Structures are given as structure tokens and as C-alpha cells.
Chain A
Amino acid sequence: MITGDLKATYAADERVLNNGYKQAFVLAMAALCALMPFIANDYIILVASQMGIMLIAVVGVNVVIGYTGLLSLGHAAFMAIGAYSVPILHRLMDNIGLPDGIMPFIAIPGAIAISAIVGIIVGLPSLRVKGLYLAVATLSANFIIIFLIELEALAPWTGGLVGLNTPDPNILGWVFDTQREMFALIAALAFVTILAIQNLFRTRVGRAFIAIRERDYSAEILGISLFRYKLMSFAISAACCRLAGALFAYFYARILPEQFELALSLQLVAALIVGGMGRTMGPVFGVMIIVMVPEVLKFTFGMVAGGAAEVAQLRAPVQEIVFGLLIIFFLMFEPLGINQLVDRGIRALNRWPFARG
């Protein structure tokens, strides 16, 4: 039994932040993000922005894998579509002659719509196939989309193998041309995304997703249209990934097709497994670990080798091994992820000094 978590009213029980720890954590994070552009150095801003972009994507993956229980290995492709539709839409709007200041307002929702449609198309097999077959179907979709991006014939639009230069967002005349400004935008959107997804699971739609995860046939018997909700799940998740992709394109000066290959899909899944599937905070913890691993390795290798080229070469393989081992370790020893560890810690804290665990 969970103690020290008394609720006197239904309203208190239904709140998003239904205990003091959550309130404290969210407020602290919000304050930290608000202060960061003013106090942090460039390096921290860079890492934090990467975290924010990954976070939005992993929240999207969580909707499909964690809440709806559909195994998807193709989410990097949605990010790719998001990232590529930004410069393409910008160019289209340039041709029409729209002012720069309102472009992001059209580019972001427009491309979210594109990606949601692609999400629905990729999600279509999920109506016929389940589990593994779906994982391979989405994996195939990932390969096909990357192939289309790299295709010579489409190179005038997608830049082919060499990638595309991306514009800086200009919101009503305010040009986000430094990473610091971009970080503020990313942090704000990340907060909004998490809140929106958390709220989704307090509605009929979210509960339908969870019912599908638990047992899809039972859900159908209860009157949940599998067709509608599975596709909706894919569309929502694709839209999140697409937002992450758009921010990715705005954040970096150039996008390349190889950034969105299988490795990214695996990273997204790794972050979700490490953090905890089907939990709001899972992606947050997972992304922190997954983004910190390369940075910690960079730091350690710098300390050990001091810039020796032969040792520095080993960093990329070691990083891959660490990612893989993280997935394996959490699956074997803590399948519910860091979220569960944190829950356990909080519970112990609540009961202290009367009981442990």
C-alpha cells in the first residue's frame, strides 16, 4: 500500500501532478529550463537542446510502444520526414512569397500534418499484423523512406546523399539564430508535448490505447474501434516525432539522411526501455541517460587518452556497446525502467523510518 499520499477530493486525485514530489520535480525542471539560457555555457545548452529534441521524439514513441503496445522500429523515419519537410516547405513558401516571420507557423503544423498522414500509412499494417510482423513492417518502412530520401530522382527536393541546409526559424520577426534561443523554443515545446500526452491519457482516447495494449480483442469487444484507435496512436506518435524532426532541422544547420537511419530508431527505443515504457516520466529519465552516455564517454576518453587518435577512434564502438548493454541490462534486471527505480525510492522516502522498499 502506498502511504503518505492521501487524497481528500476527486479533483486532487485527478490532477496531473498528484503528489508533492511530482510538483517539486516539474517546478524545479521548469525553473531550471527557464534560467538555463541565461546562466549555462554553450556546451550545456547544446546537450540540453539535444535532450529536448530526443525527449519529444521518445514521448511520441512511448505513445505507440508504451501505451498502445504496438512494437515499432521505424520512428526515425518519422523524424526524417519532419526534418525534411521543414526546408522543403520553407522553399515552397519562399516561392509563394510569404514573409519569413510567419513561416514556422505554417511549416510546423503543415509538416505535422504530413507526418501524421505518413504515420497513418505506416500504421496501416498494424490493423492486419501484430507484434513482430509489425516491428518488421515499420522497420521496412524506415528503410524505404530513407531510400526515397537518398534517391537520385528526388535529389532536387531532398538533397540526396549530401543532405540539405536548413533555415533558422523566424517567429514574427524574431530570428532564432543562436542555440540559446533555440533551446528556449525546444524546452517550451518539450514541456507542452509532455503535458499534452500526459493529458491524452486522462481522456477516452488514451484509455482506449491502454485497453488495446492490454488485449486488443477484448478492447474491441468493449466497443473500441481498433481501426480508429490504432491509426490514431500511430498518427499522434508520428506527429510528436515529426515535431522533434522539425526542431532538429531548425537546430542544426544541415540535415543528412544518415542521421535518421536504423541507429536512431534503436536509440529512441533504447531511451524508452531504459526510462520505462508506458509511463509519463519514462522518456524523461531515458533520454537523460541516452544523451548523457556519449557525453560521459567523450569526457572519460578525453581524460584517459588526452587526445590520442587511436584511443579516440574506439569511442564510437564503445558508445554503441554501452547503448546495447543498457537495453539488455534494463530488460533483464529492471524491465519497468528507471521510472520504477524512482518510484521505489520515493515510496521508501515516504515510509521512512517505518519501513523500507
Chain B
Amino acid sequence: MGEFIQFTLNGLMSGAIYALIAVGIVSVFKATKVVNFAHGYIIMFGAYFYFTFSVIVPGAAWAPDWLQSWEPAWMVAMKADLPMFSPMGAVLDWLSNLPRIILGLAGAVICNALLGLLIERTLMRPLIGQSTFAMIMITVGLISVLSGTKGLIWTADAEFVPHIAPNTPIRLNLFDTPIFLFGADLVNVAVALLLFGAIVAMVRYTKSGVAIRATAEDQSTAYSMGISVPRVFSRAWVLAATTGAIAGAILATRNGVSPSLGLFGFSVLAIVLMGGLDSYVGVFIAALTVGFLEAMAQWQFGGEFAEVVPYIAVLVVILIRPHGLFGQKEVERI
């Protein structure tokens, strides 16, 4: 029973991060009707930008020392007195990493926003008004371009990056079995949920959110109502790229940066389709479900089975409900 709870918690935590990634795909789809096959690679870029600004830049010769490791006198004094593996030690470690974590996150978000803007301007905008098939296939081509560009810029593989929160282990006792949670994981989940909630609230209540929804409903009507559709498009891409940057940074802290982060995007794509492309609620439920199922598969059958869980789940779901769990059925007219 205790093991079950442990795996359930792990699954739900990765599910929350799936939800954060999925929100990027859904936002772009809602605004532009384009499903971004390359979203996983945009996340990978976010992770590598985080790696660049939190590991490479602080490690450079010209960077000030406090950026690499901030250790004022009081912290050194406090550290000296602490026993090994104490929670306070983890917090202090995190504090001394804090400057480079902040630099890393800021750098990742800004660079990824620029990347999203660049993609939207050069590849998507010229095709506004044409069939979405071309735009979707362009994102397929973008997969190769992004993964190749990554290979040109960064040769690092499976490098580790600092956690974005103190990684204190938390030990609980439930049903007489110990359950381990890590502070960083909990903060990751909190960040993911907060961002997800913020984006859903933004789309529902703010003016630009209303513009996104109007564009999703009918582009030409939105145009005639004074909404700048191209601006909505670029906002959606920037939103997707920035959430992708944070998701990428979180993923990088969990497993290190590696090109396999790109493949992660495909399982999230499966999750998005499972939930229904245009429904935030459906995608959230699907993300948590897949996270849970993955953890169960990992527990019962071993790690390699977890990889195919999203794909099997999406096949089952779209065979039964072709538009996903909560997706809107498209009305087709001949």
C-alpha cells in the first residue's frame, strides 16, 4: 500500500509537469489551429538555455565569483556547524546557487520567448490564411531544424543543472511504510500548477485572453471586431515558448539536459490529444492520468514500459472518443 502511494505521488508529480508542457501546445492550438509537433524541441531549447545561463555562463572566466557560488561569511559559518544531509544544509546549498538559478531561469525564458517569436514571424505568419496542413507540416520540419541546431550549438549531453528549489528530502510514514518526497519536486509541482492556473485564468478573464478565444472561434470575425489576429498568434507562441522554457528547466533538473527531452514532446502531444485539443480541463486530467499510469507501469513492469504508456493510452482514448476526453467535436459541412 505504501509503495502504491509512493508511486501514485511520483506519477501525479510528473503529471503536473506534463500539464505545464501541454499548456503550450493547447495555447498555440487554440489561437492558431496549428498543432505544434516541435513543442518538445522548444522545451529542449528551454532546458539548454537554462543549462547555458546557470552552468556555462557562471563557470566562464569573466563571470563574477558570486554568480557561480554565492557564499557570504554568515553562510559559511552556518554551514560549518551543520551535520551532513540536514534539511537546513539543502536550503543553504540552494541559497548559494540562487544567483545562477535566477540568471538561468531569466535567460531561458527570455531566449525561448525570442525563439517563439522568431518561429512565429518567419514560419507561421507568411502562411496565415492558408491551409493549416502546411503550417503543421512546417512544425514537423521544425523538429529536424531545432534538433540539428541544438547539435551545432551544444555538444553537452546528460549534464546536470542546479535544482530550482532546495532539494530537502521529506520523509513521511503512511501505513507503516516510509514515503520519500523531495522538496524540489514539490516546488516544481507548485510552479507547474500555478502557471497552469495562471494561464487558464488569463485566457478566461483578461482582455488578451478574450482576444485569443475570439480568434479561436472565427479568425475573420475576430479581425473585423478590431482584434489584431497576427498579434494574437505571436502572443500564443511566446506564451507557449516561455512556459516551455520553465518546463524545460524543471525537466532538466530532474534528469539532466539531453536531446531526449525533444522526444518527451511527443508523449505530451499524445496527452494533449487524449484530453481533447482545445480543452484545458481535459488536458489537465489527461496529464495527471498519464502520469499516474506511467508510474503504475514503472512499478509493475519496469521503466521501459513507462515510455509507451502515453501512446497506448492515446490510441485507446481516440478509438473510443475520437475528439479526446473533453474536446469539442468539429462540425463539418460539405
Report A's interface with B, CB cutoff 8 A. Answer: 71, 73, 124-125, 128-129, 131-133, 135-137, 139-141, 143-144, 147, 150-152, 215, 217-218, 221, 262, 266, 269-270, 273, 313-314, 316-328, 331-332, 335
Contacts and interface: CB of A to CB of B under 8 A. Distances in A.
B308 A143 contact: yes
B128 interface: no
A323 to B, nearest CB: 5
Per CB-CB distance, the 8 closest pairs between chain A and chain B, nearest first, are: A317-B151, A327-B141, A324-B144, A320-B148, A324-B145, A140-B311, A321-B148, A317-B148
A129 B322 contact: yes
Given A137-B314, A139-B266, A324 B142 contact: yes
B138 A133 contact: no
A266 B140 contact: yes
Given A136-B273, A215-B334, A147 B145 contact: no
Nearest to A320: B148
Contact of B141 (A135, A144, A324): A324
B143 A266 contact: yes
Contact of B314 (A140, A217, A325): A140
A321 B134 contact: no
B270 A140 contact: yes
Contact of A328 (B145, B151, B311, B332): B145
Interface in B163-195: none
A151 B273 CA distance: 26
Nearest to A335: B134
A326 B127 CA distance: 16
B307 A147 contact: yes
B278 to A, nearest CB: 12
B182 to A, nearest CB: 29
Given A147-B304, A331-B141, A217 B332 contact: yes
B142 A328 contact: yes
Given A137-B318, A319-B148, A321-B145, A331 B134 contact: yes
B152 A321 contact: yes
B76 to A, nearest CB: 41
Contacts of A129: 318, 322
Interface in B290-334: 304, 307-308, 310-312, 314-315, 318-319, 322-323, 332, 334
B35 A132 contact: yes
Contacts of A140: 270, 310-312, 314-315
Contacts of B142: 324, 328
B156 interface: no
A143 B311 contact: yes
Interface of B: 35, 123, 126-127, 133-134, 136-138, 140-152, 155, 263, 266, 269-270, 273, 277, 304, 307-308, 310-312, 314-315, 318-319, 322-323, 332, 334
Given A218-B334, A316-B151, A332-B138, A143 B266 contact: yes
B323 to A, nearest CB: 8
B144 A327 contact: yes
Nearest to A326: B141
Contacts of B277: 132
B306 to A, nearest CB: 11
Contacts of B273: 132-133, 136
B140 A327 contact: yes
Nearest to B332: A217
Given A137-B315, A218-B334, A331-B138, A71 B133 contact: yes
Contacts of A324: 141-146, 148
A37 B146 CA distance: 39
Contacts of A269: 137, 140
A141 B315 contact: yes
A74 to B, nearest CB: 10
Contacts of B145: 320-321, 324-325, 328
Given A136-B270, A317-B150, A144 B312 contact: yes
Contacts of A319: 148
Nearest to B150: A317
Contact of B319 (A125, A221, A273, A325): A125
Given A132-B35, A318-B148, A332 B126 contact: yes
A327 B142 CA distance: 9
B157 to A, nearest CB: 13
Contacts of A313: 155
A318 B152 CA distance: 7
A169 B43 CA distance: 45
B242 to A, nearest CB: 23
A223 to B, nearest CB: 15
Nearest to A131: B133
B152 A144 contact: no
Given A136-B269, A143-B311, A270 B150 contact: no
A23 B83 CA distance: 85
A320 B147 contact: yes
Given A217-B334, A317-B151, A320-B145, A73 B270 contact: no
A135 B36 CA distance: 12
Nearest to B123: A328
B140 A73 contact: yes
A133 B329 CA distance: 12
A135 B318 CA distance: 12
Nearest to A143: B311
A314 B134 contact: no
A157 B123 CA distance: 45
A124 to B, nearest CB: 8
Contacts of B138: 327-328, 331-332
Nearest to B310: A140
Contacts of B312: 140, 144
A149 B132 CA distance: 34
Nearest to A319: B148
B269 A320 contact: no
A28 B100 CA distance: 64
Contacts of B322: 128-129, 133
A264 B149 CA distance: 19
Nearest to B131: A335
B315 to A, nearest CB: 5
B326 to A, nearest CB: 14
Given A129-B318, A143-B307, 16 more contacts: A128-B322, A132-B35, A133-B318, A140-B311, A140-B315, A141-B315, A316-B151, A320-B145, A321-B145, A325-B141, A325-B145, A326-B141, A327-B138, A328-B123, A328-B142, A331-B141
